[in-house]
Amino acid sequence: MYVETQSCVVVPMENDEWTVYTSTQSPSDAQYLCAGILGIPANNVVIEVKRLGGGFGGKGTGDRIPRGPAMVAANKIRKPVSCVLHRADDIASTGKRHPALFKYRVGVDDDGRMLAVHVREYLQGGYSRDHSVGAYGRPQTFFFMETLIAKVAQRVGKPLNEVKKLNLAQEGDIALVGSRFNNFCLRAS
C-alpha cells in the first residue's frame, strides 16, 4: 500500500494549456486522459511528477480517478483545483489485491513445532478491477503464513518469535517442491 493517496493539482494556463501535478507511474496515460476529458490535443497538457516512491503499481492506473473531476472543475472555474482522495475512498475506488481464502488444518506439538499442515488456497484470479503489480497472490499467501504461525503461538502459549524460530527450515530439510535445503544459513547460533 502506498503512503500518499491518489491526488492531483490541475492548473489552467494560457492558450488552453494545462499543467497537471500528479503522482503517477504512467505520465503518458495521464496526459492523454486529461486531454481527452477536455477534447484538446495531448500536447496542450503537461504532466508533472515531482517524485514518486513505493507506488507498488497503485499509481499505474488507479491514479486516474481524481484527475477527471479536477480537470472538469478547473475548466469550469478557470482556477487551479486540487483533488486528494481520503484513504477509504482511495481503497474503495481503486481496488487492491484480489481476494483470497485459506482453509487449513495444522498439527503441532506442545512447543508449537508444526508437524503437519494441510492448506487449500483459493485466489480469485478471474476478472477483477483490482490492479496488483508483481508477486500475484504471494502477499496474500505470506499474510496467511504469518497469521497461521501467530495462531499456533497463541494456542500453545509461547512467544511468537520462539515459535517462528522453532519452525525455521534446517539444513537438509525437504522443501515443498522436493528439493533439499543445502548451504542454509538462516539459523542464528
For position 38, which CATH number holds?
A: 3.30.365.10
* Closest-CA residue to 123 (of 93, 94, 143): 143
Task: Compute the half-sphere exposure of residue 183: CA atoms within 13 Å on the CB side of its CA.
Answer: 0
Identify the domain boundary among 94, 115, 142: 94
Instruction: Say whether both 11 and 80 belong to one domain.
Output: yes
Question: Per the structure, how many domains does the chain have?
Answer: 2
Residues 72 and 150 in one domain: no
d(CA 181, CA 189): 18
Residue 62: how many other CB atoms lie within 10 Å: 25
> Where are any strands of DSSP class E within 65-143?
81-84, 100-108, 114-123
Query: What is the residue-level pLDDT of the chain in tens, covering all 189 positions?
Result: 778 888 999 999 999 999 999 988 889 999 999 999 999 999 999 999 987 766 666 777 767 888 999 999 999 999 999 999 999 988 777 766 777 899 999 999 999 999 999 999 988 776 666 555 666 667 888 899 999 999 999 999 999 999 999 998 888 888 777 888 887 766 655
Q: How far is CA 32 from the centre of its chain?
A: 25
Residue position matching grid coordinates 503489480: 133
Q: Are residues 42 and 79 in the same domain?
A: yes
171 inside domain:
no
CA distances in angstroms from 184 to 133, 145, 167, 168, 173, listed in the order given: 30, 20, 14, 11, 10
Same domain, 82 and 131: no
| Whether residue 112 sits in one domain with residue 88 | no
The predicted structure's pLDDT at residue 135: 63
Structure-block grid coordinates of residue 144: 496467511
Residues 16 and 57 in one domain: yes
Question: Please, which residues bridge with residue 46 across strands?
Answer: 19
Per-residue confidence (pLDDT) for residue 107, from 0 to 100: 97
Task: Give the residue numbers spanning the domain of 19.
Answer: 7-94
pTM, rounded to two decimals: 0.60
Asked if residue 152 and residue 105 are part of one domain, the reply reads yes
Query: What is the sign of the dihedral through the CA atoms of 144, 149, 155 and 159?
Result: negative
Same domain for 108 and 89: no
Residue 172 belongs to a domain: no
> Nearest-CA neighbor of 121 among 148, 95, 96?
148
Residue 58 contacts residue 131 (beta carbons within 8 Å): yes
CB-based contacts of 76, cutoff 8 Å, min separation 6 = none
User: Both 11 and 78 in a single domain?
Assistant: yes
CA 162 to the chain's CA centroid: 30
Same domain, 111 and 137: yes
11 and 90 co-located in one domain: yes
Identify whether residues 51 and 115 lie together within a single domain: no
User: In Å, how far are 20, 66, 122 from 34, measured between CA atoms?
Assistant: 9, 11, 38
Is residue 181 included in any domain, yes or no? no
